[in-house]
Amino acid sequence: MTTEQDILKRALSKDKRFGYLPEKDRHYTAPMDNDLRFAVIGTGIMGLEHIRITEMEGRARITAVWDPNPAGIAAAVQTVKLIDPSREVKIYKSIEEVASDPETDGLIICTPNYTHLDVLKKLASTGKHILMEKPMATTVHDAMEIRKIAEKYPAVFQLGLQYRFKAPYVEAYRDVMTQELLGDVKMINIAERRIPFLDKVGQWNKQSRYSGGTLVEKCCHYFDIFNLFAGSKPVRVTASGGQDVNFRDFEYDGVRSDILDNAFVIVDYENRVRACFNLCMFSPLFFEELVVCGEKGTLRTWEQEDFMSNDGLQTGYELFCGENGPSRKGSPQYPKMIESSGHSGATFYEHMYFVDNIRGAKTLTATAEEGFWSVVVGAAAEESVRTGKPVMVERMLKNAGIRL
Ligand SMILES: NC(=O)c1ccc[n+]([C@@H]2O[C@H](COP(=O)([O-])OP(=O)(O)OC[C@H]3O[C@@H](n4cnc5c(N)ncnc54)[C@H](O)[C@@H]3O)[C@@H](O)[C@H]2O)c1
């Protein structure tokens, strides 16, 4: 398992300020093994984040990339060269070349949501370790297909639900789930306010058929957090939402955007935990809040970032246990270098655990089953918004031909 010491040493070993040292004098800052070779499939904004963080984490290196978009390839090669100008990156010409290359150990799939199943089918025969971006698919049917492939997969299959590694959620998980400081969890609330979806290659995130809809595409992260803290399976999902501000006149190739930009979602769990999600995507500020109410106390944690100011990421943590035990307030944070590397530092830990998983450790990374349930809640919420009715999860899955 990785220790904090290892992380610091790896960071220092890559710090160019120590480049003046003769090699024999580099002990604490000596270069560390980066013997794992990863290829990135889909070098858009998330693929580039994975490239940077693979190199930053340090035990693996990016040796190859595939993307049909030449600008994405150029950006990927430039990203690696900026880190180490001497490095060569293999550029595949097709997914078939990715599949037939014996010189990689891990594949990071960061293509648009609607392509995940197809890409996985073409790569599954390789038996290489896979990190696949969230949401695993745009429909519960495809998510189940991926889950079936993953459950028989002979190597690591990890899903990119890395929000669970944001510092406030790690702290909350420890207090609520490991130490059970709140007793039994009864209610969970998450609010997200943020700017509209950014541009994408082919603008796939503006249309539900390509993204799964906002509540699948983006919010699977939060439904994953719900599922973790509820410790149970969702039975009913009720939602209200609309496209009231963003992309109302947006068309791409003659097709209008149809994605939600605000919603409320209520999830009822088998164990009677209730969860409520509140989304607004026309806010100038990034803000995320989690509130967990248990029988013995309440926890509230949040992070916010205003890109128009220089304040950086701010976080808060408040644990109120009343007479049941000590309460606590604080501000969970990672080292700045990690925090600023992407998604509040969560992607860094996702990579660290990906390598730990490859090395045989057991970590808390998202499994295909967990990825599946995060899509189930999102898809049920989308359906509830469309129909104006509560969606019973079992019936929705049955209608999709899924029996568990
Ligand atoms: N975990 C997170 O927090 C997080 C954040 C952002 C995006 N994502 C996910 O990452 C994935 C990619 O999103 P993005 O924001 O980078 O999108 P993007 O549009 O910026 O990049 C996608 C890239 O994939 C390429 N591509 C399309 N089809 C391909 C194929 N069949 N084979 C290879 N490359 C292909 C495109 O040319 C593009 O360069 C999506 O699934 C998205 O939901 C996850």
Query: Do 208 and 235 reside in the same domain of the chain?
Result: yes
- The tokens for 71 are 């600008």
The DSSP secondary structure of 60-81, one letter per residue, reads: EEEEEEE-S-HHHHHHHHHHHH
Query: Do 173 and 287 reside in the same domain of the chain?
Result: yes
Q: What angle do CA 123, 126, 131 make, to 5 degrees?
A: 60
Query: Do 98 and 25 reside in the same domain of the chain?
Result: yes
* Residue nearest atom 40 of ligand 1, based on CA coordinates: 112
Domain contains 240: yes
Domain contains 21: yes
Query: Do 210 and 311 reside in the same domain of the chain?
Result: yes
The alpha carbon of 81 and the centre of ligand 1 are apart by a number of angstroms equal to 21
Query: Do 383 and 238 reside in the same domain of the chain?
Result: yes
What is the number of alpha carbons within 13 Å of residue 230 lying toward its C-beta? 29
The CATH code of the domain that includes 279 is 3.30.360.10
Query: Do 25 and 63 reside in the same domain of the chain?
Result: yes
* Residue nearest atom 4 of ligand 1, based on CA coordinates: 46
Residue segments in the chain with a per-residue pLDDT below the cut of 50: none
Q: What is the pLDDT of residues 32-74, one digit of tens each?
A: 888 999 999 999 999 999 999 999 999 999 999 999 999 999 9
The alpha carbon of 40 and the centre of ligand 1 are apart by a number of angstroms equal to 10
The alpha carbon of 42 and the centre of ligand 1 are apart by a number of angstroms equal to 6
Domain contains 360: no
Query: Do 41 and 155 reside in the same domain of the chain?
Result: yes
Q: What is the pTM of this model?
A: 0.96
Query: Do 189 and 144 reside in the same domain of the chain?
Result: no
Nearest atom in ligand 1 to 72's CA: 39
> What b/e sequence results for 273-303 when a residue is b if at least 16 CB atoms lie within 10 Å of its CB, and e otherwise?
bbbbbebebeeeebbbbbbbbbebbbbbbbb
The alpha carbon of 175 and the centre of ligand 1 are apart by a number of angstroms equal to 34
Query: Do 15 and 97 reside in the same domain of the chain?
Result: yes
Domain contains 349: no
The alpha carbon of 286 and the centre of ligand 1 are apart by a number of angstroms equal to 21
Query: Do 195 and 136 reside in the same domain of the chain?
Result: no
The alpha carbon of 36 and the centre of ligand 1 are apart by a number of angstroms equal to 23
Mutate which of 52, 139, 201, 374 for ligand 1? The one with the most ligand atoms within 8 Å of its CB, which is 201
pLDDT of residue 242: 98
Residue 320 structural domain? 163-343+365-399
Which residue, 161, 184, 211, sits at the end of a domain?
Answer: 161
Domain contains 260: yes
Domain contains 320: yes
**Whether 110 contacts 133, CB under 8 Å:** yes
The alpha carbon of 112 and the centre of ligand 1 are apart by a number of angstroms equal to 4
* Residue nearest atom 10 of ligand 1, based on CA coordinates: 110
From the list 263, 311, 317, 267, the residue with the least C-alpha distance to 286 is 311
Nearest atom in ligand 1 to 43's CA: 39
The DSSP secondary structure of 203-227, one letter per residue, reads: GGGGSHHHH--HHHHTTHHHHHHHH
Q: What angle do CA 58, 64, 67 make, to 5 degrees?
A: 120
Split into its structural domains, the chain has a count of 2
The residues near 80 (Cβ < 8 Å, ≥ 6 apart) are 51, 55, 62, 87, 89
Which residue, 132, 161, 190, sits at the end of a domain?
Answer: 161
Q: Which residues line ligand 1 (CB under 6 A)?
A: 41-47, 66-69, 72, 95, 110-113, 115, 119, 133-134, 160, 162, 200-201, 217, 343
Query: Do 233 and 155 reside in the same domain of the chain?
Result: no
Q: How far apart are CA 216 and CA 228, in angstroms?
A: 17
pLDDT of residue 2: 64
Domain contains 351: no
91 forms beta bridges with 65
Which residue, 161, 186, 210, sits at the end of a domain?
Answer: 161
Mutate which of 69, 107, 111 for ligand 1? The one with the most ligand atoms within 8 Å of its CB, which is 111
Q: How far apart are CA 288 and CA 26, in angstroms?
A: 42
The CATH code of the domain that includes 66 is 3.40.50.720
The alpha carbon of 177 and the centre of ligand 1 are apart by a number of angstroms equal to 32
Query: Do 127 and 62 reside in the same domain of the chain?
Result: yes
Nearest atom in ligand 1 to 41's CA: 33
262 forms beta bridges with 242, 280
The alpha carbon of 160 and the centre of ligand 1 are apart by a number of angstroms equal to 12
Domain contains 34: yes
